[in-house]
């Protein structure tokens, strides 16, 4: 076995590697090494989750945001973004549609839109739970006080997605406005875990000024935090942001990381993201074959989908929820895995 394959086997057996070993893998993997990595990653994932792929129905309920993250198409200062917010009833209707289609998890995601009070969020979560007690509700609505997270949890939300975006403070400061800090983002993740949520963190791959050393810092942070979910996808430039001319993250780097994360955190729920499907027409299928086990079809009303434009070229903005669901089932079946009707809890 060459050095890289030996390192991949060691990662598989020990769940971690030294910094220089990870650096070697991230920077010098050839196609045959990558195929070996994906093969071991699939075996790890199948040992825990079999051939099942879990669906999360994504409801993007508002694109208003108070923050000004430099990479994001819905940043506060993008005055070309056409803003919308769904009413409580519209959000509940989306969840009902999702349930009827076979989703047993919905993800309520938005910019940091202060017009929804904690009581509003709790009322929406409780109403969805009252309709469908067996539907898991994930929130992805940004940084809040611990008391707010506690209220949402008591209302019935069980999971929370909050990518740290990068685990390096200087890189974080480069990507974000001065009002945001990595320390606070990490505190939020700790608070969520302490309350009892299944927590998802994650990063953008190839974000501007990201180095492989940063990525290794991310891998160690995630290994140590031991989240139930990790959301990673390539950075993709948006034409109305300061990063409009920056290169996108690559398919290869993202797939390598999916495989590596599966070997480092074997039980993690790992989505093949929409961003991955945007940079490559078969990106999500390739993600599943590299170790991912979750896909997140869009459940937002078709009329607003084009407005939740985090990056240029985002796919799946024209279809109805039922079409997205059927398309995803077909795509996954072609990989040899199967979409199932299940909450898809962490094991
Ligand atoms: N406001 C919530 C938060 O901060 O977690 C959730 C919404 S935020 C738009 C969801 C995710 O979109 C972010 O965590 C970020 O990783 C991703 N995102 C934003 N802009 C992106 C871009 N240009 N390319 C790829 N992903 C992007």
Q: Residues 39-83: pLDDT tens digits? A: 999 999 999 999 999 999 999 999 999 999 999 999 999 999 999
Site to probe by mutation for ligand 1, drawn from 61, 72, 202, 227 as the one with most ligand atoms within 8 Å of Cβ, is: 72
Does ligand 1 come within 6 angstroms of the Cβ of 112?
A: yes
Tokens 């459940």, located at residue:
299
pLDDT computed for residue 4 by the predictor:
96
SS3 content of the chain, % helix, strand, coil (to 5): 45, 15, 40
190 Cβ neighbours under 8 A, 6+ residues apart = none
Q: Give the closest residue to 188 by CA, choosing from 149, 237, 157, 219.
A: 149
**Of 112, 144, 163, which is best to mutate to test ligand 1, by the most ligand atoms within 8 angstroms of its C-beta?**
163
Distance between CA 48 and CA 20 in Å, rounded? 29
pLDDT the model gives residue 278 = 97
Residue 1 pLDDT more than 80?
A: no
Q: Is the CB of 140 under 6 A from ligand 1?
A: yes
Q: Is the pLDDT of residue 346 over 90?
A: yes
Average pLDDT for the chain:
97
Token pair 């797939």 is at which residue?
A: 255
Q: Whose CA is nearest to atom 2 of ligand 1?
A: 142
Give the mean model confidence (pLDDT) for residues 185-212. Answer: 98
pLDDT at site 319: 84
Say yes or no: CB of residue 152 within 6 Å of ligand 1.
no
pLDDT of 225 reads: 98
Q: Is 325 exposed, middle or buried (0-12, 13-18, 19+ CB in 10 A)?
A: buried
Q: What is the pLDDT of residue 336?
A: 97
Q: What is the DSSP string of 108-146?
A: EEES--TTS-HHHHHHHHHHHHHH-TT-EEEEE-----H
* pLDDT over threshold 80, residue 322: yes
For atom 12 of ligand 1, the residue with the nearest CA is 310
Cα 72 to ligand 1 centroid, rounded to whole Å: 6
How many angstroms separate the CA atoms of 275 and 284, rounded? 9
């Amino acid at each position: 076995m060459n050095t890289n394959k030996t390192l991949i086997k060691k990662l598989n057996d020990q769940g971690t590697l030294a910094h220089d070993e990870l650096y070697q893998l991230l920077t010098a993997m050839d196609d045959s090494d990558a195929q070996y990595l994906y093969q071991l990653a699939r075996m790890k994932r199948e040992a825990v989750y079999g051939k099942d792929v879990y669906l999360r129905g994504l409801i993007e309920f508002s694109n208003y945001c108070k923050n000004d993250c430099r990479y994001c198409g819905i940043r506060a200062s993008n005055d070309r973004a056409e803003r919308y917010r769904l009413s409580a009833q519209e959000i509940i209707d989306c969840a009902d549609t999702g349930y009827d289609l076979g989703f047993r998890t919905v993800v309520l995601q938005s910019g940091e839109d202060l017009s929804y009070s904690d009581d509003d969020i709790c009322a929406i979560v409780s109403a969805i739970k009252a309709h469908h007690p067996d539907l898991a509700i994930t929130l992805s609505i940004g940084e809040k006080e611990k008391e707010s997270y506690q209220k949402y949890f008591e209302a019935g939300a069980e999971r929370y997605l909050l990518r740290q975006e990068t685990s390096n403070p200087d890189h974080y400061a480069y990507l974000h406005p001065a009002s945001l800090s990595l320390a606070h983002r990490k505190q939020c993740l700790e608070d969520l875990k302490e309350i009892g949520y299944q927590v998802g963190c994650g990063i953008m791959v190839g974000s501007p000024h990201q180095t492989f050393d940063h990525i290794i810092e991310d891998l160690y942070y995630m290994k140590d935090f031991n989240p139930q979910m990790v959301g990673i996808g390539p950075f993709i430039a948006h034409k109305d942001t300061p990063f409009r001319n920056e290169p996108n993250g690559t398919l290869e780097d993202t797939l390598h990381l999916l495989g590596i994360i599966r070997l480092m955190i074997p039980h993690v729920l790992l989505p093949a993201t929409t961003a991955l499907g945007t940079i490559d027409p078969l990106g999500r299928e390739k993600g599943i074959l590299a170790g991912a086990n979750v896909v997140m079809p869009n459940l937002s009303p078709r009329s607003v989908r084009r407005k939740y434009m985090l990056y240029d070229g985002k796919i799946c903005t024209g279809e109805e929820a039922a079409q997205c669901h059927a398309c995803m089932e077909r795509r996954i079946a072609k990989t040899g895995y199967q979409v199932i009707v299940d909450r898809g809890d962490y094991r």
